[in-house]
Amino acid sequence: MHSLRPLVPQDLEAVREVYLDAVLSQAPQLYTPEQVRAWADVVQESSPFEEILAKGVGLASCSRAGEVIEAFAVLEPVDRISLLYCRGRASRQGHATGLLRALEALSRGYGSQRLRTEASFLSRPLFEREGWSVDWIEELTIASVPFRRFRMVKDLLQD
């Protein structure tokens, strides 16, 4: 099992690195080069990214030594998983699953009855394995580049 700990403000740069690594190492499998570039550039926009981290409840999944953040996730608000990213080298090792389950428990503890998220083509299979379902498919643009993502939900009372 990987160690989970709360995100703290000092983690901002490490979280940006994880985000960028996740997008650049994994997205090219399912997205065009233009989409990968636009998605990766979001981390450079300071205010939206920093604001989510500052307002949300975040967790980091660390390496066995507990020093290096391999994945992170944020509830913001408490009924929405707004960020969930894992380094390419750490993918398929249980980091994201552990974070997802921990955030579901936290959200339940805050009194949420239903949790929601916007999942990419990369994260949709993970969410579905954990009992989430697609509510609807959303078309959006990031830096004038079209994207499709999945609005997903999970009833926390069923679990």
User: pLDDT of 54-113, one tens digit each?
Assistant: 889 999 999 876 679 999 999 999 999 999 999 999 888 889 999 999 999 999 999 999
Q: Where are the beta strands (DSSP E) in the chain?
A: 3-6, 57-62, 69-75, 80-86, 114-119, 133-142, 145-155
Task: Please give the pLDDT value at position 65.
Answer: 66
User: pLDDT of 109-149, one tens digit each?
Assistant: 999 999 999 999 999 999 999 999 999 999 999 989 999 99
User: pLDDT of 3-18, one tens digit each?
Assistant: 899 999 889 899 999 9
Mean pLDDT of 37-62: 83
CA distances from 126 to 10, 37, 92, 119, 133 (A): 28, 23, 10, 9, 11
Give the domains, in start order, of the chain with CATH numbers.
3-113 (3.40.630.30)
pLDDT band at 53, cuts 50/70/90? confident
Mean pLDDT of 36-50: 78
Task: Please give the pLDDT value at position 1.
Answer: 54
